[in-house]
């Protein structure tokens, strides 16, 4: 560390204020951590003798434009961070797209309060790539990420999972039920699209329609209920009958009902 500090005093100073820096410098747990800079960058003798420079002397470097391949950079991190939440990193969408650990995390400087993130918050870090999701979160009906009540990792594990879309739970519905337990059921009368996937009706990142619906009511209902007559007007197609009306005025328990007479979700 002291040898590196001769040429890189600013890096050593900023690193010493980070979570990893405090651990390695003050409370190293093993011989690897006692190596200081060389624990991650590799032996520095050849680098110093050659006069320095990025990639000179076979050092592992971690910036996006540096010569060290992404796989080699990530392998350094995974020597310590492969367990628990990162068990599914290999083969994950991020790993297969050459995302480097250092694209999302900053080891040498403290930017965030937790996780040594590349930006101040989880949302800002994810938004570096997931621009469309960030735009959706700015819509009028949205998950409370802007308010700081949850973040992307409330639903997703960016390091990989065994499920679609990096979800922490086993399915989209199980993810939603973590907060919306009253919608889980089972119900005596179940609404098939609801039980299949909450995303059939809702946009999970945000919408300009109430309750994060994909379409305004009654247009959303009409995606399925278009070719049958309505009980109040059997000779009239549903589209004409309910246009401009509110289906939920009558069908109030649309997520499911346990009422003996709830087969049309009216009670």
Most trustworthy range by pLDDT among 3-12, 75-84, 124-133: 124-133
Q: Is residue 32 part of a domain?
A: yes
Task: Report the C-alpha gap between 37 and 67 in whole angstroms.
Answer: 18
Residue where a domain stops, chosen among 111, 127, 157: 111
Confidence of residue 211 (pLDDT cuts 50, 70, 90): very high
For 144, the 3-state DSSP assignment is coil
Give yes or no for a contact between 86 and 77, defined as CB atoms under 8 angstroms apart. no
Q: Give the residue among 108, 146, 103, 147 at the shortest CA–CA distance from 126.
A: 103
Q: Is residue 79 part of a domain?
A: yes
Residue where a domain stops, chosen among 111, 138, 168: 111
b/e 240-258 (16+ beta carbons within 10 angstroms → b): ebbeeeebeeebebbbbbe
Task: Report the C-alpha gap between 78 and 128 in whole angstroms.
Answer: 23
Number of domains in the chain: 2
Q: Is residue 101 part of a domain?
A: yes
95 shares a domain with 17? yes
Task: Report the C-alpha gap between 217 and 64 in whole angstroms.
Answer: 46
Check whether 122 has a pLDDT greater than 90.
Answer: yes
Choice between 123 and 26, residue whose per-residue pLDDT is larger: 123
206 shares a domain with 105? no
265: alpha, beta or left? (left if phi > 0; alpha if psi -120 to 50): left
Mean pLDDT of 234-243: 53
Q: Is residue 232 part of a domain?
A: yes
8 shares a domain with 103? yes
b/e 108-145 (16+ beta carbons within 10 angstroms → b): bebbbeeebbbeebbbbbbbeebeebbebbeeeebbeb
Q: Is residue 85 part of a domain?
A: yes
94 shares a domain with 7? yes
Mean pLDDT of 86-109: 93
CB proximity list for 29: less than 8 A, separation 6 or greater: 23
Check whether 237 has a pLDDT greater than 70.
Answer: no
103 shares a domain with 7? yes
104 shares a domain with 18? yes
Please give the backbone phi and psi of residue 116, each rounded to the nearest 5 degrees, phi first.
45, 50
* Domain carrying residue 192: 181-249
Task: Report the C-alpha gap between 234 and 93 in whole angstroms.
Answer: 50
Q: Give the residue among 212, 214, 219 at the shortest CA–CA distance from 243.
A: 219
Q: Is residue 160 part of a domain?
A: no
pLDDT confidence of residue 22: 84
96 shares a domain with 6? yes
Give yes or no for a contact between 175 and 143, defined as CB atoms under 8 angstroms apart. no
Residue where a domain stops, chosen among 111, 127, 148: 111
pLDDT tens-digit series, residues 184-194: 989 999 999 99
The DSSP 8-state label assigned to residue 117 in this structure reads: B
Cis, bond preceding 186 (omega within 30 deg of 0):
yes
Give yes or no for a contact between 158 and 81, defined as CB atoms under 8 angstroms apart. no
pTM of the model: 0.84
99 shares a domain with 14? yes
187 shares a domain with 105? no
Q: Is residue 169 part of a domain?
A: no
pLDDT tens-digit series, residues 139-170: 999 999 989 999 999 999 999 999 999 999 99
Burial class from Cβ neighbours inside 10 Å (0-12, 13-18, 19+) for residue 198 reads buried
Q: Is residue 47 part of a domain?
A: yes
pLDDT confidence of residue 3: 85
């Amino acid at each position: 560390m002291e040898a590196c500090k001769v040429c890189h005093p600013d890096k050593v100073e900023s690193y010493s204020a980070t979570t990893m820096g405090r651990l390695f410098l003050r409370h190293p747990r093993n011989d690897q951590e006692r190596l200081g800079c060389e624990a991650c960058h590799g032996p520095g003798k050849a680098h110093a003798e050659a006069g320095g420079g990025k990639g000179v002397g076979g050092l592992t470097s971690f910036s996006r434009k540096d010569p060290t391949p992404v796989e080699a950079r990530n392998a350094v991190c995974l020597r310590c961070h492969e367990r628990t939440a990162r068990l599914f990193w290999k083969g994950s969408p991020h790993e297969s797209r050459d995302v480097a650990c250092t694209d999302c995390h900053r080891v040498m400087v403290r930017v965030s309060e937790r996780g040594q993130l590349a930006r101040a918050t989880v949302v800002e870090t994810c938004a570096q790539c997931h621009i469309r999701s960030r735009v959706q979160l700015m819509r009028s009906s949205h998950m409370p990420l802007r308010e700081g009540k949850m973040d992307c990792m409330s639903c997703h594990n960016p390091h990989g999972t065994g499920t679609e879309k990096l979800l922490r739970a086993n399915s989209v519905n199980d993810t939603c039920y973590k907060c919306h337990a009253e919608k889980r059921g089972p119900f005596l009368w179940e609404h098939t699209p609801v039980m299949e996937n909450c995303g059939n009706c809702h946009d999970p990142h945000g919408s300009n329609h109430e309750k994060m619906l994909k379409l305004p009511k009654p247009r959303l209902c009409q995606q399925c209920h278009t070719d049958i007559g309505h009980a109040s007007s059997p000779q009239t197609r549903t589209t004409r009958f309910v246009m401009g009306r509110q289906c939920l005025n009558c069908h109030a328990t649309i997520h499911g009902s346990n009422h003996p007479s709830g087969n049309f979700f009216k009670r």
